[in-house]
Amino acid sequence: MSSVRSIGTYLPRWGTDAARVCGPDEDAVTLAVAAGRGALRGIAAGDVRRVVMVTRRPPLVDGGNGAALLAGLGLPATTDVVEQLGGGPAAMATLATAADGTLVIGVDTEEGAGAAGALTGPGGAPLDPGSTLARSLPVRTRDLDGVVHDYDDPRLLRERGSARAIGMVGAAGGVAAVTGLGAREAAALTGPGAPTAPTRGASAPLFAIAALTEAGQGGTVLALEQASAAVAELSAGAIAVHHDARRAAALPQLRQHDGPELAIALAGYDRAFDPKLRLEAARCAACGTLSYPPRLRCLECGSEEPTSTVALPRHGEVYTTTTIRIPVPSLATPYSLAIVELGDTEVRLLVHVTGTPPGVVRIGDHGTLEFRLVAVRSGVPDYGYAFLPDEVDDPTEKPENTANEEVGP
């Protein structure tokens, strides 16, 4: 049995209320970071002993994603991290049996994209593991090259897959929430008024637990994936829930341009990894000036003394901005860039703009820096931060800022 202490959820901006989709700068790691940071709000880093990311679409198979995930979450690189391939049943079983101090994050990147993270610890709501069932009925498959095969037989999946799995785990009635089924099938198990999840994969049972908590309810939670299932019993208790979900909007029309691949210099990638992914500056020991990225010599006083590390604030103001419309190899255009001044640090960063159509952000706008996929170079996901403007009533009504816009030759 585990005790769920807090839950954070994240939905991408793009798509519809029925199903969100990832933006061009989002993948399983960025979604996991967004949800995980919500679950860790107000939690000391030392309270987290292990991180488990459950997903069907990890960005890297060789090389691993753990270092980027921990850096984005602001956790020490020595934290135990597990990348688990799986869907809703895997996430449910992992969370229900997790030791205190475990952050379990379920991530879904296909249509119906979203992520949810749950931290276990004392003082939360008990989650008692029930039956788990692993069966093979591969109606839909995907290999490591991304090739998808779909047997496309809903009746077979329903009768030989989910229906049989439900009977085998003993969840045919009295279910408080079910994930991995369509709305009509789920309602037949739960009855009217049961909470629903915006996703159907690894994150779905965590979304369902959050919804039950907010409704002041407990009960049996059933997670299904094709012919596999997992059941857990949620008891009454205090769970802090934080949601990160903006109003849905249509994904802007972008163009991908052919051209030479942008190569990566792994030595430079390694030097910049921690400051860039952890958003840390160096403080001069002599005069206190902050430098980002960190430098060996202070630009203010010239000191070469050892520096200390300072976490930069995540909120800032747009100092200037531009929109790029000319073709750029390996990048989808158009896209906006902004120089953002962070808090009162006088540190300015050049970053992409995310979560809003190109050309909308203006000088003086406020927003936050969010962990995003900057580019993929030589097959390596290159992560960093992008500026997400504070949400306004209708961002599409804001006029374009064309004062310093790049133009084609």
The reply to whether 276 falls in a domain is no
Burial class (CB in 10 A: 0-12, 13-18, 19+), 294: middle
pLDDT of residue 159: 80
Same domain? For 229 and 129 the reply is: yes
The reply to whether 259 falls in a domain is no
Same domain? For 207 and 335 the reply is: no
Q: Confirm whether pTM is higher than 0.85.
A: yes
Cis link prior to 334 (omega < 30° from 0)?
yes
The reply to whether 383 falls in a domain is yes
Find the domain containing 67 and state its range.
Answer: 2-245
- Domain tally for the chain? 2
What six digits make up the tokens of 249?
């909007």
pLDDT of residue 172: 65
The 10s digit of each residue's pLDDT in 217-252 is 999 999 999 989 999 999 988 999 999 999 999 999
The reply to whether 255 falls in a domain is no
The 10s digit of each residue's pLDDT in 57-96 is 999 988 899 999 999 999 999 999 999 999 999 999 999 9
Q: Kindly provide the b/e burial profile for residues 387-409, where b requires at least 16 CB atoms within 10 angstroms of the residue's own CB.
A: bbbeeeeebeebeebeeeeeeee
State the residue for tokens 């202070």.
298
Contact between residue 48 and residue 40 where contact means Cβ atoms under 8 Å apart: yes
The helix, strand and coil proportions of the chain, stated in percent and rounded to the nearest 5, come to 20, 35, 45
The reply to whether 303 falls in a domain is no
Among the candidates 221, 245, 269, a domain finishes at 245
What six digits make up the tokens of 235?
């008891």
Chunked mean pLDDT (size 10), the chain, 409 residues: 96 95 96 98 94 96 94 97 96 97 97 96 94 88 82 79 83 83 82 87 97 92 93 92 96 85 86 94 94 92 94 96 89 94 94 95 97 92 96 52 37
pLDDT of residue 393: 54
Same domain? For 180 and 43 the reply is: yes
The reply to whether 52 falls in a domain is yes
Return phi, psi of residue 332, to 5°: -85, 130
pLDDT of residue 396: 47
Same domain? For 190 and 59 the reply is: yes
pLDDT of residue 187: 80
Strand (E) or helix (H) holding 236: none
- Taking alpha carbons only, the member of 179, 177, 202, 212 closest to residue 192 is 177
The reply to whether 280 falls in a domain is no
Contact between residue 25 and residue 369 where contact means Cβ atoms under 8 Å apart: no
CATH of the domain at 329: 2.40.50
State the residue for tokens 């992914």.
277
Torsion of CA 272, 277, 279, 280, to 10 degrees: -50
Same domain? For 321 and 211 the reply is: no
Among the candidates 220, 245, 270, a domain finishes at 245
Same domain? For 124 and 13 the reply is: yes
Q: Where are the alpha helices (DSSP H) in 176-283?
A: 183-190, 204-214, 266-278
The reply to whether 73 falls in a domain is yes
Among the candidates 230, 245, 260, a domain finishes at 245
What six digits make up the tokens of 75?
């956790």
Question: Which residues make beta-bridge pairs with 223?
Answer: 179, 230
